[in-house]
Chains A and B, each alone.
Chain A
Amino acid sequence: MPKKNECIAMLLAGGQGSRLGVLTNNIAKPAVPYGGKYRIIDFPLSNCVNSGIYTVGILTQYQPLELNDYIGNGHPWDLDRAQGGVHILSPYQQIKGTQWYKGTANAIYQNINFIERYSPEYVAILSGDHIYKMDYSKMLQYHKDKDAACTIAMLEVPWEEASRFGLMFVDEDGAITDFEEKPKNPRSNKASMGVYMFTWEKLRRYLIEDEKREDSSNDFGKDVIPYMHKAGEKMYAFPFSGYWKDVGTIDSLWEANLDLLNPKANIDLSDSSWKIYGRSPVTSPQYVSNDAVLQNSIVAEGCTIEGSIEYSILFSNVNVEKGAVVEYSIVMPGTTIKSGAVVQYAIVAENAVIGRDALIGENPQKTGDIKEWGVTVVGNGVKVGDKARVKAKSMISDDVKEGDAV
């Protein structure tokens, strides 16, 4: 029988992330690369270990192969433990039949047995698609101080963006008085970050009740939390200030990467007191040649840089040949950009090859109609032929022949 844990974390990582298009054709959203050497899931996982939570269940459903492989035994996060550690929880066959995870709450419901093994007093519910650094132990302390049934991490967002979030109304004590899900005319700018701390005894009860209700979509945000609130449970909002970004769309993924280059964005990954851990590739140091130009960029190990790189993020083992230009772009591991190619305002996925003198993406200031502009995406393993052109906002998963334009 495992040892009793005060607090364990359940990490929701089953989402497809369909808005990321070709980037999530073969991998789940939490496994999408970010920041030159990380994957999105490294953030909640590192937050857990940095906060002293050493038992983490990862709920997977969509394309789990790469994610499972990446997590492995959890060693990169110090989560390969005799007691607790990291566990991948996929849907499984039960005596009553087999069910996929119907919603976020149902995913936890189906794993009540896993949670009970550790007899925790508190359970943190996290999602695998946010970039942020947060000390969950402070949130737990707040939760205990308030004697709450549920505490939701809260971030004040700019008013003009508030309508994109689930919003909360909070009294002077921090208690949540009301919720509003993505309203057209927001009356609050206090957004839920999708980070929840529950008292397990309460959550367990509400999960079981939620499962019984036929009209429920078994979702935390839509069903369980409003239901708990209606039932009069003590719900508190834990104020968080700092960098937080949902990377659910191509634009937000691109922005969140470039935020690393913006000193005003308040996300510093070089802070040794709150390291972000991940599985590091085995590769050599990066080589920067005589012809290279590097300005305001992040470049990972194993790269060979002979071209010009500005305002970009390059993952490991990327080759940028002489005369190639990369600007305002994200280039994922193993990709080669041949001489004379220009990649701008683009996300190029893993192991792609961009041919000589090819043109990927466009500068928004040089585009005729700004409404037609968008970040260009080149999918995993795609080969773009010499002199080919991939326009702004294009998203490609098939090879492009020499000289073609898509």
Chain B
Amino acid sequence: MRANDVLGLIYSNSHDACISELTARRTMGSVPFGGRYRLIDFVLSGFVNCGMSKVGVITNRNFRSLMDHLGSGRPWDLSRKRDGLFMLPPFNLGEADGNGDRIGSLNRIMDFISGSSQEYILICDTNTIYNMDFSELFDFHTQRGADITVVTKYGKLPGLKNTMVFDCDENGLVKSVAISPKTDNEVLYSINTILMRKSLLERLIGDAESFSYESFEKSIIQKNLSRFNICCFKLSGFCGTVDSLVSYFNINMELLSLKVKRNLFNEDRPIFTKIRNDMPVIYGLGCKVSDSLISDGCIIEGTVERCVLSRGVRIGKGAVVKNCILMQDTYVGDNCELSYVITDKSVVITPQKALRGVKTYPIYIGKSIII
């Protein structure tokens, strides 16, 4: 299977509701992450790094920020004459729930899918952060002679609706599927990255439409276990699934481990993102910075500990910021004290303010709010 024979499809609104604060005005795909990225950068870069050349981004709602981020697809080298990046907005806003509705979304873009020359289709969500070599998945799919391959991760089940949990043999062949079972054990769960032939997807979606099936997981995967050869590909390496504001916070913080950082950002498979042309970080006299990820355009004059700072953040003199995620252009005034706070873009915290969240409940401050 050649990589440019695989059409990539990305659900940019996947599980929007689980971090409703951050997705009130944007898609899951355009949620800022890791300082300089948006969540969609990870799968999109993965697609490009393995040689895929055509990607459709399915959007159901709130996609202005996503369009602004993706533009013509140039940072991912997807601004092309042949193939490239395609935005797939809804035809009718009313029918989209922006959350599940995988079948409906696919059905609405059947023209796009059928009109593509690619033989295979790879479908991804955006709420999972990982940097995988997709060509390994393609080889696995071919070697196993699979009809459908689902990428899975072994670990604690994320608290998301309709998550498939698999039981499979040593070759990865699925024996049974449970959907969001109640369990505290570590399980093999789907991160909703699914590979199959285009012709098969067309048939399945056609069937689902005629029988009014609604659930991709139940009606397409669970129901067809005996009919098709469905396999699980186990993801190794770092993988974080956002299922709540707390997990979003924790996954950001996990990047502060050099091991995780080197796994997620490796030279062979760089993560591309929109360029902002900020100047490099300026560290002022008297600043103290430790154990943090800092992006270009920041000016730091205070104390920063265990933080992830996006581009253009300013920390005033005497300010102490600990365990925080500060998004683009957040301004923290002199002598402020912040701990366990997530600020959205362009938040201004005027001098001498103290804000304190706790590890299990970080405070979230919405876009452009002035405190």
B358 close to chain A: CB less than 8 A: no
Residues of A within 8 A of B279 (CB): 35-37, 269-270, 276, 298
In the assembly, what is the distance between CA of A289 and CA of B285, in Å? 18
Once the chains are docked, how many angstroms separate the CA of A283 from the CA of B264?
11
Interface size on B, residues (CB 8 A): 35
CB distance from A75 to the nearest CB of B (A): 7
Whether B35 and A285, one on each chain, are in contact in the complex, defined by CB atoms closer than 8 angstroms, is yes
Segment with Cβ contacts to B, from A20-28, A58-66, A299-307, A368-376: A299-307
Q: Which chain A residues border B74 with CB–CB below 8 Å?
A: 75
Nearest CB in chain A: distance from B238 CB, A: 13
- A275 at interface, CB cutoff 8 A: yes
Any A CB within 8 A of the CB of B275 = yes
Assess whether A284 is interfacial by the CB under 8 Å rule.
Answer: yes
Partner of A289, one of B272, B281, B291: B291
Question: Of the candidates A277, A286, A299, A300, which one forms a contact with B293 in the assembled complex, judged by CB atoms under 8 Å apart?
Answer: A286
A225–B61 CA distance with the chains assembled, in angstroms: 62
- Shortest Cβ distance from A261 into chain B, in angstroms? 8
Taking CB atoms and an 8 Å cut-off, the chain A residues in 299-320 that contact chain B are 299-301, 304, 309, 313-315
Q: Which of B256, B277, B287, B308 contacts A295 (CB 8 A)?
A: B287
- On chain B, the residues within 8 Å of A300 by CB distance are 280-281, 296
Q: Are A278 and B277 in contact (CB under 8 A)?
A: yes
Contacts of B308 in A (CB 8 A): 285
Partner of B283, one of A270, A275, A297, A315: A297
Interchain CB contact under 8 A, B282 and A270: yes
B273-316, CB < 8 A from A: 275, 277-287, 289-297, 299, 308
Q: Mark B137-165, 1 if CB is under 8 A from A, else 0.
A: 00000000000000000000000000000
Find out whether the CB atom of B261 lies under 8 angstroms from the CB atom of A284. Answer: yes
Residue in A282, A287, A299, A309 with the greatest tally of chain B CB atoms within 10 Å:
A287
Which residues on the B side are within 8 Å of A304 (C-beta)? 258
Complex partner residue of B289 from A282, A283, A294, A296, CB under 8 angstroms: A294
The reply to whether A289 and B290 form a contact with Cβ atoms under 8 Å apart is yes
- Bound CA–CA A292/B289 (angstroms): 7
Band of interface residues on A: 35 or more
From B264, B283, B292, give the contact of A296 (CB < 8 A).
B283
Within 8 A of B (CB), among A51-99: 75-76
Taken together as a complex, chains A and B put the C-alpha atoms of A288 and B264 apart, in Å, by 17
For A75, the chain B residues whose CB sits under 8 A away are 74
Do residues B287 and A294 form an inter-chain contact, with CB atoms below 8 A?
A: yes
| A365 CB-CB contact with B under 8 Å | no
- Are the CB atoms of A301 and B280 closer together than 8 Å? yes
Q: Which residues of B contact A315 (CB under 8 A)?
A: 280
Q: What is the bound-complex CA distance between A313 and B280, given in angstroms?
A: 9
Contact assessment for B258 and A298 in the assembled complex, using a CB-CB cutoff below 8 Å: no
- Contact check, B277 vs A299: say whether CB atoms are below 8 A apart: no
**Distance (Å) between the CB of B212 and the closest chain A CB?**
46
Provide the bound-state CA to CA distance between A286 and B308, in Å: 10
Do residues A285 and B294 form an inter-chain contact, with CB atoms below 8 A?
yes
Which residues of B lie under 8 Å from residue A113 when comparing CB positions? none
Asked whether B36 lies within 8 Å of A288 as measured between CB atoms, the reply is: no
Residue B364 at the A interface, CB < 8 A?
A: no
- Alpha-carbon gap, A261 to B289, bound state (A): 18
Closest to A36 in B: B280
Q: Which are the 5 A-B pairs with shortest beta-carbon distances? A: A36-B280, A284-B265, A285-B35, A300-B280, A269-B279
**What 19 additional pairs, Cβ within 8 angstroms, besides A285-B35, A287-B261?**
A76-B277, A270-B278, A270-B279, A270-B297, A275-B277, A276-B277, A282-B270, A284-B265, A287-B256, A294-B287, A295-B286, A295-B287, A296-B284, A298-B281, A298-B282, A298-B283, A299-B283, A304-B258, A313-B280
* Interface residues in chain B, defined as those with a beta carbon under 8 Å from any beta carbon in chain A: 34-36, 74, 256, 258, 261, 264-265, 270-272, 275, 277-287, 289-297, 299, 308
18 A-B residue pairings within 8 Å (CB atoms): A75-B74, A76-B277, A276-B277, A278-B277, A282-B271, A282-B272, A283-B270, A285-B36, A285-B293, A285-B294, A287-B261, A289-B290, A291-B290, A294-B283, A297-B283, A298-B279, A300-B296, A301-B280
